[in-house]
């Protein structure tokens, strides 16, 4: 025991207190720790698994780029969800904590926006327009994390189609609101009620999960959390500006970057090609058409009127 330093004794004390509180024997855990292997980089981040997750459907050399780009996008979305979850689950509405999380979200959203150069400049035009034909009916419409971000950020009334925005009753139920969500129009013919295979697949897999999340977020989404704060609190204006930045980056800058990339590949040589999911991508992607706005209360009337054009 004479070789044990004071800081080591303090550490042992904390370990003992931790496992006693759990009703566990700290000695058993320490003994197990003495047998464990040293951690290394490749095992910690599961490098071999990560690098094995690209499974192209064709032999075109640029298809793995397309796959990896979307995998990176999903990881960035997971980072955003990770931060938003801490905001909506926080017991206290502390502005500094809130602001820190949204600033992190803004960094991730900025990377998302900048990353489209990988897609637009990083793939051969002819290769992409060949291998994409093997991907139908898969589509970015089926990104569940994208829908999770939306529902965690704002009220469902702000996510309905512009055709009915402001017309649905304030007390519209969950099913009514979900029937009118803007993204459904990318896979639903409103006149016939017929859904594309892309939308059917997505709803079969995720719709119950999303409805459950929407129920939980009804009174604790990011917008609700912000509106509960007092304008007189220190840091309020900085948080407001951070939320505006996120709203604009995620719902204007990123979709426009996506649209320019789609135009490069799908509307470049005099022929407008359909999206793999069958959507009218030119309308679906342009923010002035969707008018997806997470925090409308934070924008002026002129800014809302010109959404997608600034």
Greater model confidence, 226 or 286: 226
Mean pLDDT check: name the lowest of 24-38, 158-172, 180-194: 24-38
Give me the pLDDT at residue 282, please. 63
Report the predicted TM-score, pTM, of the whole model to 2 decimal places.
0.89
Average pLDDT over residues 50-77: 97
The CATH number of domain 64-305, selected from 1.10.730, 1.20.58, 1.10.10, 2.30.110: 1.20.58
Average pLDDT over residues 277-285: 59
Band the pLDDT of 88: cuts 50, 70, 90.
very high
Give the whole-angstrom CA distance, residue 240 versus residue 228.
13
- At residue 81, the 3 state secondary structure works out as helix
Mean pLDDT check: name the lowest of 2-16, 128-142, 239-253: 2-16
Place of tokens 């590949």: 265
Mean pLDDT check: name the lowest of 82-86, 104-108, 227-231, 289-293: 289-293
């Amino acid at each position: 025991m004479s070789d044990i330093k004071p800081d080591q004794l303090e550490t042992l004390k904390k370990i003992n207190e931790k496992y006693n509180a759990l009703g566990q024997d700290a000695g058993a855990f320490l003994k197990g720790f003495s047998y464990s292997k040293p951690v290394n980089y490749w095992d910690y981040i599961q490098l071999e698994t990560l690098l094995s997750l690209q499974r192209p459907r064709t032999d075109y050399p640029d298809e793995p780029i397309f796959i990896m780009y979307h995998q990176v996008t999903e990881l960035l979305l997971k980072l955003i969800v990770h931060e938003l979850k801490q905001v909506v689950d926080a017991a206290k509405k502390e502005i500094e904590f809130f602001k820190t999380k949204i600033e992190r979200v803004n960094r991730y959203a900025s990377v998302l926006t900048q990353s489209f150069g990988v897609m637009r400049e990083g793939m051969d035009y002819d290769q992409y327009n060949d291998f994409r034909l093997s991907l139908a009916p898969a589509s970015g419409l089926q990104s569940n994390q994208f829908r999770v971000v939306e529902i965690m950020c704002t009220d469902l009334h702000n996510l309905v189609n512009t055709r009915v925005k402001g017309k649905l009753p304030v007390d519209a139920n969950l099913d009514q609101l979900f029937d009118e969500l803007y993204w459904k129009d990318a896979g639903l013919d409103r006149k016939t009620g017929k859904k594309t295979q892309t939308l059917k697949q997505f709803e079969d897999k995720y719709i119950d999960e999303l409805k459950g999340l929407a129920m939980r977020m009804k009174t604790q989404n990011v917008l609700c959390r912000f509106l509960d704060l007092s304008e007189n609190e220190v840091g309020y204006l900085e948080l407001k500006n951070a939320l505006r930045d996120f709203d604009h980056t995620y719902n204007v800058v990123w979709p426009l970057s996506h649209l320019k990339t789609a135009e490069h590949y799908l509307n470049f040589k005099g022929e407008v090609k359909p999206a793999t999911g069958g959507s009218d991508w030119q309308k679906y992607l342009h923010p002035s058409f969707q008018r997806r706005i997470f925090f409308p209360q934070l924008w002026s009337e002129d800014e809302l009127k010109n959404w997608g054009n600034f």
